Amino acid sequence: MNLLLVVPYLPHEKIPYAGGQVVYHELRHLSKWHRITLITAAHPSDQKAVETLRPFCEEIHTVLQTRTFGEKVWQMIRSLPLALLHPSVLKPRIRRAYDLTRAMHRLLKTKSFDIIQMEFSDTARFLHQPLFAASVLMPHDVLEKPARRRLNLGRGPARWLRKAVYRYTLRLEGRIVRLFDRVIAHSDFDGRLLKNLYPGISIEALQLGLTRRFTGANNPKGKDLLFVGAMNREVNVQSVLFTVQEILPRVWSEYPEVTFTIVGGDPRPEVLQLARRDERIKVTGFASELEPYYASAYAFVAPLFVGGGIIIKIVEALSAGLPVVTTPVGNEGIEAEAGEEIMVGTSADELAEGCKGLLRDRDYRDRLGEKGRAFAERKYSWDAATEFLNRQYEEILAARRTRREGSA
């Protein structure tokens, strides 16, 4: 089949965004079966990374990805005329979605495709009518979910603003998902949620493959707790701040020798400040190789309270044999067995107690890590994911042919 893939992040194995890593592996496996044309956002400095995608793609079309402050300011200036109609394009993320949609429509004037697949719901926010070709949306996250959680956490006047944002998000997502022949969620949980929120849409759930396979054993040299994630994302900043302010003091009261390592690109000033205040906290910035961190850490701590879809960093930690301590939100789309394959706590006390339980009992820590590894490897296979996607494409095309024959 001729497949058009539209992606807001450059799909690459080394990109510091879990979503980009997921799409890279998806692209690599789908290319064995289909002729792929890729439209993606990329920065001029990404040219070498773009070239590594050539073996998987017949064509690659890129739109400008802003990174530096100056580039973002210049793009905002360029967006001012368009902002009269769409004020939201002043945000680089929204302008990127606009540019990707425009690039897609330009390409569709000269070339036809069997399947058009758009990654991330937000990428399709400027799509206002169904595409002529068969279409698939891979939302990655449910937009309603983090908006609802932010609303529930709001207090006072902020709650009224968050209520307006929630209602807007619900309308936006509802309009987007109804434009596609099929929506493919990244977990059964998100699939059920989307069905309940937007009745009548055609939706299936896909279990992703692992973005990385770790061959080495987890063998901690000390008592280091680990967090991995892009540190310019608000949800990750909140997670590490909660760990330092609420969980670590409870752990240090019993185990003062415990350390905490934060790995992730573009750490915000408030994250960098954590390492200056306490020598037991280390902020590494971006790391191209994560295996040494997963191999030497004692446990992975991810107190997530706002999120959606599959939390890729947690799946990676599980696949590395590293015990994970997280919240119900962190385990929501993964659905590992609490206490057997993953540690789950709803409060700072419960999360700290989970960490201390692993520190008290090394044998239990090792068993939890091995059961977590077996769970991740059993559930997340790219070969199975690719077979699933191929079946979806065939079903969509068959349904379209039936409709055409019925109307003839």
Predicted TM-score (pTM) of the model is 0.71
The pLDDT-based confidence of 70 (bands split at 50, 70, 90) is confident
The reported pLDDT for the residue numbered 186 is 84
Q: Report the CATH fold assignment for 2-209+381-407.
A: Rossmann fold (3.40.50)
Q: What is the pLDDT of residues 334-371, one digit of tens each?
A: 889 999 999 999 999 999 999 999 999 999 999 999 99
The reported pLDDT for the residue numbered 159 is 85
Please list the alpha-helical segments (H only) found in 140-255: 144-153, 157-177, 188-197, 234-242, 248-252
Residues of the chain with CATH 3.40.50.2000: 2-209+381-407, 224-379
Quick one: 224-379 is in which CATH superfamily?
Glycogen Phosphorylase B; (3.40.50.2000)
Residue 15 has pLDDT above 80, yes or no: no
Nearest to 14 by CA among 370, 315, 258, 291: 291
> Is-contact 305 329, C-beta < 8 A?
yes
- Sort residue 222 into left (φ over 0), alpha (ψ -120 to 50) or beta: beta
Q: What is the pLDDT of residues 41-62, one digit of tens each?
A: 998 888 899 999 999 999 999 9
The reported pLDDT for the residue numbered 383 is 83
Rounded to whole angstroms, the Cα distance separating 20 from 7 reads: 8
Residue 338 CA, chain-centre distance (Å), reads 22
The average confidence (pLDDT) of the chain is: 89
% of the chain beyond a pLDDT of 70: 96
> Is-contact 254 353, C-beta < 8 A?
no
Q: How far apart are the first and last CA of the chain?
A: 24
Residue 114 has pLDDT above 80, yes or no: yes
